[in-house]
Every structure is written in C-alpha cells, then in structure tokens.
Structure 1
C-alpha cells in the first residue's frame, strides 16, 4: 500500500528541553493516532502499517530526540523526558486526547505518557515492550548492556543506520545516539504499580517469538485487569484492555506486519 490518495504533511514541533520534534502526518479525520518508533528508528520503519492505519484516521508519526530528522540536544535520554516530549507534541498540534502507539523503546515512551499525562491519551497501544526492565529475555538484556558508540562500525552496516543517515541533520551524531540509547536501556525500571492505575484502554501486542516472553505479556495484561476471569457467555466480563500475540512474528518484524494494522485498527474503532 502506498500513500497515494492520502493527505500528507510534515513539520517540526517545539516540545521540551529545546527539542524540535519531527512529525509526519497522513490523512485526516477521526481520533488522531500518534506513533512512536523503536530505538534507532525513524518514521519509515513501519512500512505500510501507517498507511493502512490512516485509512480510518489521521496518523501522526514522530521521531524522538536524536532520531532521524530530530536533532539531538544536550540532554540525556530518560523515559520521562521522552514521554514529556510526546505529550507536548500532542498538545502543541492540538491532537488530544489522542490514541498513542509505540514499538519497543517507543512502547516504553507511550506507556510513560499514559502514566504521566493521562489527559492526552484516549487509547494506548504498546507493541513489543515490557512494563519492567527484567521483562526482557536475559540474552536481550545482555545485548542492551553492550549498546554504545563502541559498536558503531557494526551498526554502519545495518538498515537502521542507512535510514538514519538518509535524513539526520548531523550524521556524525549517531555515536552519541548509541551512547544515550544504551544508557537508557540499562536504566532499571518497574512500572507495574503505575500500570495498575492506567484508566485508558490498552492494547498489548507481541510476536510469539518476541524478545519478551508470553508469560510477561500475560503478567502485564493482568495488571490492566485482563486475563483474570472468564468473560461470560455474553462477554459482559470482558476487560477494556486487550492482548494480542501475533503468530510467527519476532521483535524485529512485528512492527511492520500487516496483521498489526488489522489488530490495532479493530482496537481503536471499538465504540
């Protein structure tokens, strides 16, 4: 699917800490959906998922501090700062209450938005992200421990670097992006108690071969009131939140899977 026939726009929004966040908008109407990429990502990593979702609503994809078009500033990456940036964009573009979707690192960011700024969130979609750091498989955590500019030569051979280099205002800043991202990924966190207090409906999406085990997905879902009881013959006991495990998908392809758009669209259009 292409953007043919969809209204497209882009720009920069001043958010917090001097960051000017890049955004790209597709189509119009409905409740806007704000989409946040994963670590080292750019808007284009989602493939045609954004176009599929824009068939029924305006989609606004953003690039976080130091990612893609968005220039870095003299500020470390923290979950709360990145979340505050997204919330400021929602307010600045007059999008809220909006639906939010984030993948991996972006999933953690939108989760923090729902916790810190519930007034800007209508519905939340968290794709391939845990609610506490040790929700990742141990080997994934080992990989996160090694993320730094020391590995930049290996990263230069990846599609992620190519996508960054194609649009970044300062290509030489990729090493700093690696250092800051590594520091963020190594920061301990457990948001379980705060997740229990989220009132917006939440859709959790994982691949069945993800970097996060299905057991953690079920635990996360339970914090949202899901999977705790039978819904009854008429479905009256069904929770507002949902859990989706996409078969045959991994952490590295779930974000661009066509079925992701189908599942998310169904969740967002619930009356």
Structure 2
C-alpha cells in the first residue's frame, strides 16, 4: 500500500533528523503565521520526529486543546494549526466548510514545504482531517480522529434537534466567547464567526463512499456519551475494514476503534493520557500481541 513505502522513507529521514539535532525535541513551541488562501494562518511547531498536524475543534485554539499537543511533541514534530477565525488566525469573507478547512490545511502544508504528515483532529478538526484525506490523499499518512462523523445522521438525535435552535446570542456571554476574544485579531468578530459555525452544522456530509475508498490507516476515537453515536463510530470502523474477528490467522486491519468510557464530547480532549495511550501506538504501527502472534 502507498502509505507503507512513504512511511518508511519518512521514518528514516526523521531518525536522521533526531540524530543530528537532538535539541529539537526539547524546544518549546514556535509560533508564526503562514499565508494560506487569503489569510494569515497562525501555527506553532514543537518537538522532533515524524511530522504530525494537530487540528482543533470549533471555537477552540491551540491552548484550548490542552496537554495533548505538548505530549505528542515528545515524540513527533508537531504542527498545531489555528483555523479561519480561530485563535490568532484572522477571519476572512468566506463561509467555513469542511472542504475549505481541508484545503486550508493542504495549502498550509505547501507553504511550509511539508509534503506529507500524520494528522490528529478533534471534533471539527477531525472532520477537516477526514476531508483532507479524501481531497488530498497524497498529503496524509495516518489519521487519528476524535469525535468524527462522515454523515450528519451520525450525530446524536439530541444534537440534531438542537441545531435549528442555535444562535450566536446563546454563546455571546459564555466562557467559550470570552476565551476566543483573548486571542482573536478582531475581538468584536465573535458573532460573525458563530454564524458561520452554526451554518457549518447544517451542511450535509454524506461521505460514506469516500471513507470506504480511503487507502490509509485511521484511528477512530469517541466518547461513550459523545456527540457522535456509538453505532456511527462502529459503522465508520467497518467501512475501513475493521470489526472482524482476530486470532484467525489473518493480520488485523490497520484502522482501529477506541471508545473512551464515561466521556462526553467536551471531555474527550480533557483526557490526554488516555488519548496518548490510543494515538501513540497507532502512529507507531504497534499492535497488541495475542496468544497466536
């Protein structure tokens, strides 16, 4: 498969980088902007190793992703991005759509001369990562997706019922808005961003065929009380070749499914130790051994 050969080349290059520049692994994050599709996208680079892009959720920023980014940077060269209108990235006169977010990531990779990378995305960032793999397969190696859906019918019924009632006013005086304003280039622009993100929730997805056609390993992570249903996460896993019985003489599929217990949507990102226990072995291609291995 495509990703096996390219990953071997990347692994060798990363090992050489670590050998000649061990201090990179101890560097703190370096923040800067890149010109991406008509905006100045803010990003931070930290750590050393194989490249890993990290994509945050809606209304979030790099800091609000918590400890998962510095933990990943202990073993990877992490590129943490802030999407259009989020964090220190300016908003522009353009709707926010998953294909557009994916194209922004692809353009960012071109801007920083990053040919290919693993990607970890959470919530909106997970959907953007999925679209990146669909629209730009040559740029993606392994995907780790937390709280992702490939079809809007995969959202919990309670959330789907809530979407038509959503409005910027509901969020205007919340901690979400207050945190957003602390980093925003335009602190008065929250209502405009909220309108775009509410419209994003209403957009059809219907990516089943595209997900089934993916030729790369995918780690699906979800809370057992997440915004995405358990059935939908299992359905995605089966589309990627998972869900069969092991110990039958055949290798396990490269894609994986992990369910976090007693975990709501917003609690997913607040458990970095558990996330790392799923993400790190997956990115390293490590598989637990069974009795017959």
RMSD: 1.5
**Of the candidates 150, 157, 177, which is equivalent to residue 161 of structure 1?**
177
Report the equivalent of 1:15: 36
Change (3 A) 1:195 1:68: same
Partner Cα distance (1:148, 1:40) in 2: 14
Change (3 A) 1:14 1:146: farther
Kept after mapping to 1: 8 A contact 2:171/2:177? no
Kept after mapping to 1: 8 A contact 2:34/2:41? yes
Which secondary structure state, in structure 1, belongs to the residue aligned with residue 84 of structure 2?
coil
Report the equivalent of 2:143: 124
> 1:188 aligned to 2:210?
no
- Shift in Å, 1:49: 0.9
Kept after mapping to 2: 8 A contact 1:206/1:246? yes
**What stretches of structure 2 of length at least 5 have no aligned partner?**
1-24, 287-293
Matches within 5 A, 1:102-121: 102-121=121-140
Show structure 1 runs of 4+ deviating over 3 A. Answer: 4-7
> 1:204 aligned to 2:220?
yes
Report the equivalent of 2:69: 50
Partner Cα distance (1:31, 1:144) in 2: 38
- Shift in Å, 1:140: 0.9
**What stretches of structure 1 of length at least 5 have no aligned partner?**
none
- Shift in Å, 1:232: 2.6
Partner Cα distance (1:31, 1:68) in 2: 25
Q: What TM-score results when the alignment is normalised by the length of structure 1?
A: 0.92
Q: What TM-score results when the alignment is normalised by the length of structure 2?
A: 0.85
Report the equivalent of 1:149: 168
> 1:250 aligned to 2:264?
yes
Task: Identify, as 1 or 2, the structure richer in helix.
Answer: 2
- Shift in Å, 1:233: 4.5
Deviations 1:140-190 (A, max 9, x none): 12233233323243xx222x2222111100011100010000011111121
Which secondary structure state, in structure 1, belongs to the residue aligned with residue 58 of structure 2?
coil
